[in-house]
Amino acid sequence: MSAAVANSQPLVSPLIVVIEDEEFVLAGYQTLLESWGFEVVAAASGAEALTALTSSARIPDFIVADYRLGDGLTGTDAVQLLRRSFGDGIPGVLITGDTSMDRVRHAGESGLQVVHKPINGRRLKEIVERGLSPH
């Protein structure tokens, strides 16, 4: 491999935070994202993600969050927590099975893309890659 090609590749894989309170779904997202070469912090809540990120000394490059989390919290709450800690410009997506217009509107007010379940791997990869690309 030439030095020019080697130097054009990132030294560190993008860090994707996944927040999902269903353990099986969380593991699936993590496995999928890691298979695409991303580093992943997987958490059941925003607070859990914040703790993991604080100990890793990395800033997330993208956030994937389920809309409905446990204890009455939402993915919007989790993303806001991470953005307050690491910067408002972190892109992300909210994934929801909820079709209530009020909830969809609330999710959309966060400035995040809102995608309805089910979401297939190809679509998730497109969303993450688009969010990571310079604008």
Alpha helices in 1-135 (DSSP H): 3-8, 23-35, 46-56, 75-86, 101-108, 121-132
Domain assignment of residue 84, yes or no: yes
Domain assignment of residue 8, yes or no: no
> Could you give the angle at the alpha carbon of 94 between the alpha carbons of 31 and 80, nearest 5°?
110
Domain assignment of residue 6, yes or no: no
Domain assignment of residue 18, yes or no: yes
Domain assignment of residue 2, yes or no: no
Domain assignment of residue 105, yes or no: yes
For residue 51, give every residue at least 6 positions away whose Cβ sits within 8 Å of its Cβ, in sequence order, or none: none
What CATH number is associated with residue 115? 3.40.50.2300
Which range of 9-18, 72-81, 97-106 scores highest in mean pLDDT? It is 72-81
Q: How many domains is the chain built from?
A: 1
Domain assignment of residue 100, yes or no: yes
- Over pLDDT 90: what percentage of the chain? 68
Tokens of 35: 């298979």
**For 37-83, how does the pLDDT look when each residue is reduced to its tens digit (9 = 90+)?**
999 999 999 999 999 999 888 999 999 999 999 888 999 999 999 99
Provide the residue range defining the domain that includes 31.
13-132
